[in-house]
Structure 1
Amino acid sequence: MVKSTKIVLLLAAMWASTVMAQEQKEPRTNPKVTDIWVVFKTHFDLGFTDLPENVFKRYREEMMDNALAVIEKSATLPPEKHFAWTVSGWPLQAQILGPLQTPERRARIEKAIKTGALVVHGLPFTTHTESLDAEDLVRGLGYSSAIARKYGLPMTISAKMTDVPSHSWIMPTLLHHAGIKFLQLGCNPASQYPRFPELFWWEGPDGSKILCNYTPLYGSDIRPTENWPCKNYLAMQMTGDNHGPPSAQEIDKLLAFAAKEMPGVKIHFGTLDDFTKAVLAEHPDLPTVKGDCPDTWIHGIQSNPEETKIARNIRPLESALDALNTQMNRWGIPTASVAEKLAKAYEQSLLYGEHTWGMNAEYGPRYSYGDDWKKWMNEAAAEPIPENGNYANLKNSDAHNTSIGSKRKWLHSYDEKRQYIRNTNDIVGTTLSQRLDQLAAAINKKGKRVVVYNPLPWKRSGMIEDPWSKGRYYYLPDIPASGYMAYSPDELTTSNVTHSEQPAFSTPYFNVTFDLTKGGISSLVEKSTGRELVDKSSPYVMGQFLHERFSTNEVNKWFNAYSRIKDGWGLNDLGKPGMLNTPYLAFTPDKWKIDVARTDIVDIVTLTAVATAGYAQRYTLTFTFPRNTAYVDVAWTVTDKTPDKQPEGGWLCFPFNVQQPTFTIGRPGGAVNPATDIIPGCNRYLMAVTSGVAITQPDQSGIALASADAPLISPGQPGLWKWDMDYIPKTPAVFVNLYNNMWNTNFRLWQDGSWSESVRIWPVDKGASTVPNLVQHSWETRLPLLTGVAEGEAGKLPAKQSGIAVSRTGILVTAFGENPDGNGTILRLWEQAGISGNCKVKFNSPKTIKSVIPIDLRGNKTGPAMAVKNGAFDFHLGKYSPASFQLVYQD
């Protein structure tokens, strides 16, 4: 991703791996290696080099024609010299074999697939892995498995990602439970990378292991490295971004070089699966690495704060829609299938999580700042919109010709990226709303009514907003697991609102004092213990908004520490050449107006900045204190944020009064302690969380937070433009990133607009189990109670009913619906709380379930059927592990 067009073309012309080998002045040998497995692949960028539709067209046509020509020419050679081209799952299934492919070319492609010359690996493409939820990652495996099933081939046992340096340690768990045994990861050549061994076992948080090869470049030299530990060596031969396969001449050159430099070593052209089988047959003695790898590119997802908020909100609701639709049918409410809609929603969500977020900034205002940037934007606005709104035919080489809309094309590429998750939101949001209203209509209550649905598989209580009167809230206790309760308006308790401007007051759980200079809570005392929860020594108050503008000092210090390429495209893409020489600025509005609205259900404090110094039209902070639950919701809202291309970022600050702090960060796959669980070379300053963050002291008391909207946090200090190998947070504070424009390549270069982001904080009791507490409250934050409304004649369903339930909190139902890998109905659970042990699942359905068949994450049977007795079954569920089952019904 992070390469200019010139470098891409250079790599395309010269073949990076071969060039590396030939430029070595001294021969490098490894006498242990007897067999070299040469695997050919190109790096897939969804966009970046052009608009996605142009990239897809090139894959379908030019790239496939070139690949097929090489495949067919090599078919007359000995089997070990047959050219095989490896591709990612999604482009092969959705584009190369998609509906726009010609019948003639499709026939040649299908022949190549069946003969093993065109090979798919297990993953859909390169992702910002930690930005995705678990079920999105699972559905991404389905593209390659669908190809295997269609053509009667064995499922691949290998996977590959290139470019993004680091991936969450959910990957070993995910791949192991899908039957995939090997993962090859290649890094962008400018970026820092995790200091893994070259070949090792990567252990996930659940104890799963996969074989992994990590290279600090896209691929690897054809010559074995000096310390390669096995007889079988992987030469991962990569061409540049969206370049396509090597030519026959380049392959001949590679073979000639190998024969000269490595006489006696057997060269195999093959696949990642071939290498995997060969090296596993050696039973190699390799190191095991257990640790997480926060992504050093993850800041980029908050370059689109509005769409990333949508992603954070809607992804848990994909599973909620799946389960609700299934349960409504079992409750006797006929509903249409949502399988096709969910497949599209998951696809669009994955495309938003793919690692390219727009076209390369070399086609945009990369070097323009201040007045020059404003001029560029004005010129873009003045360009004509292409006929029929079609930007695809505009040439990237015309980027500086303002008469043909090329600037608009660059801006449009970012709109296309944002649209993916908006599509998911439209599909899931609309369908889920329809189902909830349909459920309300089926309730045996006459007249106006609201149904409250709990999408989590454990009983819970919570607040809802009045669906008929915005701004009015109700507290509802004991909503059944995966079930519902229905209410008529007169069954909901209402109360009057009083207003004041007093900055100090008391709730049933807290004594609260606000600071109207910094804009936040200066004192939050837990009444049951007398604990002060705010760190009084901090320069920040709780919930304070902080805007940073960075100078060349911070940018250059980060660049010099992080980038392995100090000039050329490395500087252009990772640095900020041309930025204005302005000093670092930390800004918080210094005067806030307060309104305290109090009811019997909730107290809501609204702070409004008196002056914004031109950074936005308005800033608002809203603090919500429920009267039935000990938490505080903090919501930040910006109106008409001023766009600025100068490096900047925004935060909500949470300084906690915790002594000898231990951080527990709820990452994808499992909780981590950043002091012990992060592989050196990864991002220690900024990372995405799936659940939330807890900071505790030795007696396990402390404070935790989670956000339904904002996935990025920095432990200890604000973490933009920071990287080193050793940082461990010591200050008991969490900073939640609201927006940033940290990079200079294919993430959005400025933010504007109006939006909001919220964070929930709660005290952790002495002696509490940290991870289960964090997981339960975080998922109740991310998956709120859902409502549907109806009026008119009564239906037949009872006013209260439970759904599928698990025997303990902290286990998610990530799939309960039509099988995406075949026929029937599947149930997938995923343990989140770090607890191994017995799990009991109870169904609530008049349709009798006879048994469940264990399956893996790609739908393959893994064990004998397990009986379901009295609507329930028990099994052992390991910590942080998924468990999937296919349901078998009585005849």
Structure 2
Amino acid sequence: MKKIKALFLVISLTATVAVAQQQKKKNSGTPKVTDVWVVFKTHFDLGFTDLPENVFARYRGEMMDKALGVIEKNATLPNNQHFAWTVPGWPLYAQILGPQQDPERKKRIEKAVRDGSIVPHGLAFTTHTESLDYEDLVRGLGYSSKVARAYGQPLPISAKMTDVPSHSWVMPTLLNNAGIRFLQLGCNPASQSPRFPQMFWWEGADGSKILCQYTSDYGSGIKAPSDWPSRNYLAMIMTGDNHGPPNKDEVEVIIAQINKEMPDAKVHLGTLDDFAKAVLAEKPDLPTVKGDTPDSWIHGLLSNPVEAKIGRNIRPLESALDGLNTQMGTWGVPVKSISAKLDKAYEQSLLYAEHTWGMNAEYGPRYSYGDDWKKWLAEAAAEPEPENGDFSKLKNSDAHNTSTGSKKKWLHSYDVKRQYIHNTNDIINTGLNTDLDLLAKSVKVPGKRLVVYNPLPWKRSGIVENPWKKGSYFYVNEIAPSGYVTYSQNEIKESAITTDRQSEFNTPYFKIIFDLKRGGISSLVEKKTNRELVDRTSKYVVGQFLHERFSTKVVDQWFNVYSRIKTGWGLNDLGKPGMLGADKAPYMAFTPNDWEIFVAHTGVADVATLTAIDTKGLAKKYTLVFSFPKNSAYVDVEWFVDDKTPDKQPEGGWLCFPFAATDPKFIVGRLGGPINPATDLISGSNKYLMAVSSGVSITQKDKSGMGLTPRDSPLISLGEPGLWKFSLDYVPKIPAVFVNVYNNMWNTNFPLWQQGSWSEAVRIWPIDNSTETVANLTEKSWETRLPLLTGVSDGEAGQLPAKNEGISISRKGVLVTAFGENPDGKGIVLRLWEQSGISNNVIVKLPNGSKYNKAIPVNLRGEVIGKSINIIAGKLSFQLKAFAPASFVLSTNALVKKVGGA
């Protein structure tokens, strides 16, 4: 969703004058500003304006030539007039200074970086932040750090993101714990934004604070408003999407205009760090805001449902592979270093989370619906494939003139985006399979054997598939923290199976009644308490599949509430111009109304499979599978779609979970910390749809209730389905969770239709009134997200014991997000992240064979922040704050002084 083409300079000369005139009318007094800090940056889109490879070539070439021209022309001016261009960390590290760069140009760029004229800010680029996991975010800080360390510059203390309206409140925690002090956020000009003060302290769930400026446009005007709370003002001068830096004349015009509008202020050309240092030294009286801001663009994740599932499943396994590989080396297994592969996996994961998902829909069938859209698809299919598969040289299509340009290129851009997370998936799964099979080969059990590995740092049990008989499962009891247990093939016993078609049955934990009209559980009674867990008054049943198709009326109502720009590109990007009218495509809420049931009873679980009789042409087949383990009180619900029919008309799919709870209290496990949506959301952010890190709990006054975690889709709505809805004050009242399984809500650069076959799984469980809600949610959710892993081998026995324990923590609810080679220097990095909201002392027990005797506290960018702690008898003890990270470099005495680039 962008201003492109002719709208190059977000703060151009014309725009600067217009903004100044508007502010002159608005402001009644003169701002008490003594210093104006002018920072220049362009908005980086990974693709959107073109294929990524073409965008990268422009950054390496013409953009850098333009920036270097301005830098070199004003090098003789006083220091405060030296032009500096701010660049995100990843494109500077991986592209502008990467191996593809022309050697002669690279020398000029390197000089500019050393001189502080080309400057990375602290973040990799703009992300859909809440789609990520903790360690992805941490690794994203490393690109700027690498550049700074390589060229003798201090690590940046400022960061910037543009376009995406809002971000998870993990940001204050992440940045503060990385030594970054200031964050500038600029909203897309058409979108609604969080109602933040002009400048404030943003506080995260752990109590960390960062200085933050939020602007309702990409950047900020050249004149401070009359109520600006500081003597220092930031003029954040942004150029548009992938446009590049201003030229020398444009810079001079902007400076002249600032001098005219604010003649008593000193003007500095500089960096975000310059501004941050000045404000922090001034210590102005600023408000503190503690709250979360879900992203109002986050629906786009489920425009790629297959890749959203891959991302949610594979990201926790990045840390799992890191820890497994390190432990195996400690146990004496001859593993190979995975550092380089892990770096690549994190990079590809971050690139998938970057906020542009394909080329602008302006180049595709933005205005085509119904038969016109089908004609466009046929024309795209008929286009010849590009020579040698090179799409980069094809011309961009134009939706206003479909006879020109390549339609295949536009379609290809979405495949390019999808490939990033597939790359991460391939790297991590290959690494895990290799190491797990090597672990199985190394244990003292001869013949065919299976190793079951627990990637969590607390003891757990679970169900595992028999590798020698697909579809057969067995229960594994109490595997040690980060440890494993071995089974020979003969030890895995197959249980008897009985089947029936009964829609009512009992399990060890529940009494169940299925509704075969709506396709789900209409009654789920917990035997221990005789408590009904389903809201019997709801129009939905638990696990029900709901398909919505949206009409022009629904879309227009949302657009008129949400969009700040009602015509032109605002309408084209946010609205759905050209869509079929309500007479041809009225709003529709559809659930198949006739389902067949088949129930299989085994020694491990009771499994009910529901199959829809009539899909009304929306797909070839829908299937729902409900699994009730016999050793654990939870239910797994999995939805399968076979050959979904694509449709460009706005639509969305949901899995529905209406729970029984009086006066419900919701807790949502968000990235950064859990929230109560009634109290912890900043107005102006997304209150109807958000991503979860762990899951959701719904409890009543006696603290009993239900927990839910989506295994595959991160997107949930509370109270009611939340597509095409926006409100400043919505608070859920109905005790229901809706898990989104696909949507095509946007008209900008997310895929405009979904098709194919995939599945989505959700786990639900009863919450006892004696259980601490957040701790319960953390434990159950992460046991869902991080499943037990297996490796197999055959042949002679190895030397490792059949059972072993790995790294463990003295209490549950603390994640190990890194345990491997330090990406910021020497040694092994150990990173924990508290998830249950408990501040206390923890003891980390390292794996048997560990020889580390020192733990050096470092921040999230590897800078030493405290005195080393002795590791005694393999144990490390320290105080861990609620919802906070803690990082250490594990070392021997000889390496203590070589950590973190220090």
1:356 equivalent in alignment to 2:356: yes
| CA drift at 1:21 | 2.5
Structure 1 residues 140-161: Cα deviation after superposition (integer angstroms, max 9, x where no partner): 0000000111011111100000
Match for residue 741 of structure 2?
A: 738
Corresponding letter in the other structure for 1:5: I
Which residue of the other structure, out of 591, 604, 622, is the alignment partner of 1:601?
604
| CA drift at 1:26 | 4.0
| CA drift at 1:723 | 0.1
1:832 equivalent in alignment to 2:835: yes
Which residue of the other structure, out of 801, 804, 809, is the alignment partner of 2:804?
801
Q: How does 1:807-818 map to 2 (within 5 A)?
A: 807-818=810-821
Q: How does 1:440-589 map to 2 (within 5 A)?
A: 440-581=440-581, 582-589=585-592
Distance 1:57 1:619 in 2: 45
- Contact 2:667–2:674 under 8 Å retained in 1: yes
Distance 1:585 1:26 in 2: 48
1:423 equivalent in alignment to 2:426: no
Match for residue 172 of structure 1?
A: 172
Match for residue 240 of structure 1?
A: 240
**Structure 1 pair 818/136, CA: closer, same or farther in 2 (3 Å)?**
same
- Contact 2:4–2:240 under 8 Å retained in 1: no
Distance 2:869 2:11 in 1: 53
- Contact 1:658–1:702 under 8 Å retained in 2: yes
Q: How does 1:575-654 map to 2 (within 5 A)?
A: 575-581=575-581, 582-654=585-657
Match for residue 341 of structure 2?
A: 341
Match for residue 881 of structure 1?
A: 884
Structure 1 residues 494-515: Cα deviation after superposition (integer angstroms, max 9, x where no partner): 2111110000000000000100
- Contact 1:17–1:238 under 8 Å retained in 2: no
Corresponding letter in the other structure for 2:324: L
**Structure 1 pair 398/662, CA: closer, same or farther in 2 (3 Å)?**
closer
Structure 1 residues 343-373: Cα deviation after superposition (integer angstroms, max 9, x where no partner): 0000000000000000000000000001100
**Structure 1 pair 208/154, CA: closer, same or farther in 2 (3 Å)?**
same
Structure 1 residues 412-431: Cα deviation after superposition (integer angstroms, max 9, x where no partner): 00000000000000000111
Q: TM-score with structure 2 length normalisation?
A: 0.97
1:306 equivalent in alignment to 2:314: no
Distance 1:568 1:36 in 2: 33
Distance 1:337 1:611 in 2: 52
Which residue of the other structure, out of 856, 859, 865, is the alignment partner of 1:856?
859
| CA drift at 1:468 | 1.3
Distance 1:564 1:403 in 2: 33
Distance 1:816 1:469 in 2: 34
- Contact 1:455–1:483 under 8 Å retained in 2: yes
Match for residue 78 of structure 1?
A: 78
**Structure 1 pair 119/299, CA: closer, same or farther in 2 (3 Å)?**
same
Distance 1:86 1:438 in 2: 46
| CA drift at 1:397 | 5.8
**Structure 1 pair 367/10, CA: closer, same or farther in 2 (3 Å)?**
farther
**Structure 1 pair 294/675, CA: closer, same or farther in 2 (3 Å)?**
same
Match for residue 209 of structure 2?
A: 209
| CA drift at 1:475 | 0.7
- Contact 2:398–2:405 under 8 Å retained in 1: no
Distance 1:751 1:471 in 2: 29
1:870 equivalent in alignment to 2:881: no
- Contact 2:219–2:236 under 8 Å retained in 1: yes
| CA drift at 1:707 | 1.5
Distance 2:454 2:479 in 1: 6
SS of the aligned residue for 2:853 comes to strand
Match for residue 898 of structure 2?
A: none
- Contact 2:657–2:736 under 8 Å retained in 1: yes
Tell me which moved more, 515-524 or 73-82.
73-82
Corresponding letter in the other structure for 1:862: I
- Contact 1:853–1:866 under 8 Å retained in 2: yes
Distance 1:289 1:784 in 2: 37
Match for residue 110 of structure 2?
A: 110
Distance 1:339 1:384 in 2: 41
Distance 2:15 2:127 in 1: 23
Match for residue 897 of structure 2?
A: none
- Contact 1:379–1:402 under 8 Å retained in 2: no
| CA drift at 1:261 | 1.9
Structure 1 residues 2-28: Cα deviation after superposition (integer angstroms, max 9, x where no partner): 125345346486564454235656485
Distance 1:732 1:410 in 2: 42
Distance 1:175 1:738 in 2: 32
Tell me which moved more, 293-302 or 5-14.
5-14
- Contact 1:384–1:405 under 8 Å retained in 2: no
**Structure 1 pair 876/788, CA: closer, same or farther in 2 (3 Å)?**
same
- Contact 2:652–2:742 under 8 Å retained in 1: yes
Match for residue 3 of structure 1?
A: 2
| CA drift at 1:775 | 0.4
Q: TM-score with structure 1 length normalisation?
A: 0.99
Which residue of the other structure, out of 780, 800, 805, is the alignment partner of 2:783?
780
Match for residue 661 of structure 1?
A: 664
| CA drift at 1:251 | 1.1
Distance 1:34 1:692 in 2: 48
| CA drift at 1:889 | 2.8
Corresponding letter in the other structure for 2:600: A
1:705 equivalent in alignment to 2:704: no
| CA drift at 1:478 | 0.6
| CA drift at 1:890 | 6.3
Note the residue ranges of structure 2 that are not aligned, 5 or more in a row.
Answer: 895-902
- Contact 1:483–1:801 under 8 Å retained in 2: yes
Structure 1 residues 778-805: Cα deviation after superposition (integer angstroms, max 9, x where no partner): 0000000000011111111111000000
Corresponding letter in the other structure for 2:148: A
Corresponding letter in the other structure for 1:852: A
| CA drift at 1:394 | 1.6
1:694 equivalent in alignment to 2:719: no
**Structure 1 pair 279/687, CA: closer, same or farther in 2 (3 Å)?**
same
Corresponding letter in the other structure for 1:95: Q
- Contact 2:300–2:746 under 8 Å retained in 1: yes
Match for residue 139 of structure 2?
A: 139
| CA drift at 1:824 | 1.3
| CA drift at 1:342 | 0.4
Structure 1 residues 699-742: Cα deviation after superposition (integer angstroms, max 9, x where no partner): 11000100220100000000000001000000000000000000
Match for residue 125 of structure 1?
A: 125
| CA drift at 1:398 | 6.0
| CA drift at 1:492 | 2.1
1:266 equivalent in alignment to 2:269: no
- Contact 2:23–2:225 under 8 Å retained in 1: no
Structure 1 residues 370-403: Cα deviation after superposition (integer angstroms, max 9, x where no partner): 1100000000000011101111112226667777
SS of the aligned residue for 1:622 comes to strand
**Structure 1 pair 15/113, CA: closer, same or farther in 2 (3 Å)?**
farther
Distance 2:30 2:813 in 1: 49
**Structure 1 pair 617/30, CA: closer, same or farther in 2 (3 Å)?**
same
Distance 2:175 2:792 in 1: 41
Identity within the alignment, %:
67
Match for residue 45 of structure 1?
A: 45
SS of the aligned residue for 1:829 comes to strand
| CA drift at 1:255 | 1.7
Cα-Cα RMSD: 1.3
Distance 2:725 2:586 in 1: 17
Distance 1:358 1:701 in 2: 44
Corresponding letter in the other structure for 2:187: C
- Contact 1:89–1:122 under 8 Å retained in 2: yes
Distance 1:475 1:209 in 2: 45
Match for residue 21 of structure 1?
A: 20
- Contact 2:194–2:682 under 8 Å retained in 1: yes
Distance 2:515 2:857 in 1: 56
Note the residue ranges of structure 1 that are not aligned, 5 or more in a row.
Answer: none
| CA drift at 1:30 | 3.2
- Contact 2:20–2:261 under 8 Å retained in 1: no
SS of the aligned residue for 1:156 comes to coil
Distance 2:450 2:299 in 1: 40
Match for residue 160 of structure 1?
A: 160
